Amino acid sequence: MAKPGSAAASHRFTAPLTPPTVIAPREPEPAAGGEESGSPTDELRTARKYQFTAHDIASGLVAVSRGTSYAQAGEAVRRQAARRWGPPGTPVPSRRHGTLVSDWVEVYAEALWHAQAPYAAAWPETVLVGVLPLTVVPPGRPQSRPGLVFSVFVAMTYEADGRAVVFAIGSAAGTGARHWAAFLRELARARTGRPVRIVGDGSAGLARAVAAVWPRPSAAPEVWTDEAVMRAAARRICRSRGLDGRDVRLWILLQRAWRGPEDWDRFAAEARRYRLPELDRWLATAGPMTARQFAARRPGVHLSRRAVPAALAELETRLGKRRTAFGNQARTDRLLRLMALDIFGMARVHAWTDLICVWLERTGGRPTTSQRRIADRGGRPSLRAAAR
């Protein structure tokens, strides 16, 4: 397969191998006592050995999971391998393309994800979801509105010990209901049962997507709006009416409203006294949902979605200015999974080295898939083609 951007039909990575050349054996040296020991053997010239170890592969994958570019990670790995295999004093080559590590992401990321990501076969009871729109201002038009490059969807939950983890992550060309539905449908296809509740940011697109994936209302999970999102909406309403002073009783009660049912009832009663249409509409939706959330509270059950915005912010930092460089959706999804593993403390060079070795041993020492099988064809980036 040709290198990306090349017009050639194929690409040769090494010079053609010539027929094996037989090197004349050396004359055996007499052994002690005048007798010859050993037997002459022919030495055959063979193809070079693969210079990168499982530790090198794991090092490169951990680096890109932490936001290092493919090119920088590849250069570091090549230097590491050159120091290991080269004779002392040999200059270390500097090569600044990212094909090496990006190919490793394609081949090994799925194995690492399946070995470490939780809830691969069944749904957790509570699913916390969020979406990160990655935007960029068009070049040469600084006053223009930022345009969407692609989006990242995440699904998280809490482990029994209270740790938040990502159990699903993927990219899409948009943030609407059909993109939510595609993300949730892929999760449902791989898992048995259904979650009891899905906690989001209150977007109408998420609610429509849940209804599309689980069309029977009796079999659909409940769609909750995170209490932090509801609180922020109420604060915006109060500020717009000048009711955000420290001496305003409504504002004081709002800060305490989610501590328990009694605090909520006091706040709701005070809010109704003002007869503000926008606040009454908000109460009509927030009141029943808050009651359900209070009823589900019990020790050991985590319903807060605050870990989701933190994870998305970290992903945005790691993708950084390179967001426009991602065009292949399948390869981008693999990189996102590595990043998710690292954000929650699962990316360790030695641990990933062991997992890669175990996986290769199970497959006879070779990856089950060849490199660049997921390359885009026809010059159309798969991550953005769906938006056209």
Per-residue pLDDT at 48 exceeds 50 = no
pLDDT of residue 27: 47
Query: Any residues with CB less than 8 A from the CB of 173 and at least 6 apart, and which?
Result: 148, 150, 151, 179, 383, 384, 385, 386, 387
Is the predicted pLDDT of residue 168 greater than 90, yes or no? yes
Closest CA to 118 of 346, 333, 307, 316: 346
Distance from C-alpha of 328 to C-alpha of 387, rounded to nearest angstrom:
13
Domain boundaries, the chain: 51-117+328-385, 227-301
Which residue from 130, 292, 126, 129 is spatially nearest to 197, judged by alpha carbons? 126
Q: How far apart are CA 164 and CA 128, in angstroms?
A: 10
Assess whether pLDDT exceeds 90 at residue 95. no
pLDDT score of 46 more than 60: no
Q: What is the mean pLDDT of residues 156-185?
A: 95
19 pLDDT higher than 50: no
Is residue 237 within 8 A of residue 278, CB to CB? The reply is yes
Does residue 216 surpass a pLDDT of 70?
A: yes
The pLDDT score that the predictor gives to residue 154 is: 98
* Antiparallel, parallel or unpaired: β 222-225 and 147-158: unpaired
Percent of residues, the chain, with pLDDT higher than 90: 63
Contacts (Cβ under 8 Å, ≥6 apart) of 180? 131, 153, 205, 206, 208, 209
Angle, in degrees to the nearest 10, between helices 249-256 and 261-273: 150
Q: Give the residue-averaged pLDDT of 139-145.
A: 79
- pLDDT at position 30 is 45
Q: What is the mean pLDDT of residues 56-70?
A: 95
Phi/psi at 192 (5° precision):
-90, 155
Range name among 11-20, 84-93, 326-335, 353-362 with the lowest pLDDT average = 11-20
158 in Cβ contact with 126 (< 8 Å): yes
- Find where tokens 């004779």 sit: 87
Question: What contacts 112, CB < 8 A, 6 or more positions away?
Answer: 61, 337, 338, 341, 352, 355, 356
Averaged pLDDT, 241-270: 96
pLDDT band at residue 42 under the 50/70/90 scheme:
very low
| Average pLDDT rounded to a whole number, residues 314-337 | 91
Cβ–Cβ under 8 Å, residues 230 and 286: yes
For residues 308-323, give the mean pLDDT: 93
- Residue with the larger pLDDT of the pair 138 and 268: 268
pLDDT reading at 268 higher than 80: yes
pLDDT for position 37: 40
Lowest mean pLDDT among 11-25, 145-159, 181-195: 11-25
pLDDT of residue 18 exceeding 80: no
Mean pLDDT of 32-58: 56
Residue 298 CB partners (closer than 8 Å, separation 6+): none
Least confident of 9-23, 86-100, 127-141, 248-262: 9-23
> Tokens 């800060």 label which residue?
255
- Overall average pLDDT of the 175-197 stretch: 95
Check residue 167 and give left, alpha or beta (phi > 0: left; psi -120 to 50: alpha).
Answer: alpha
pTM above 0.95, yes or no: no
Reported as a pLDDT band with limits 50, 70 and 90, residue 14 is low
pLDDT band at 4 (very low <50, low <70, confident <90, very high): low
Contact 56, 77 (CB under 8 A): yes
**Which of 8-12, 210-214, 238-242, 329-333 is the least confident region?**
8-12
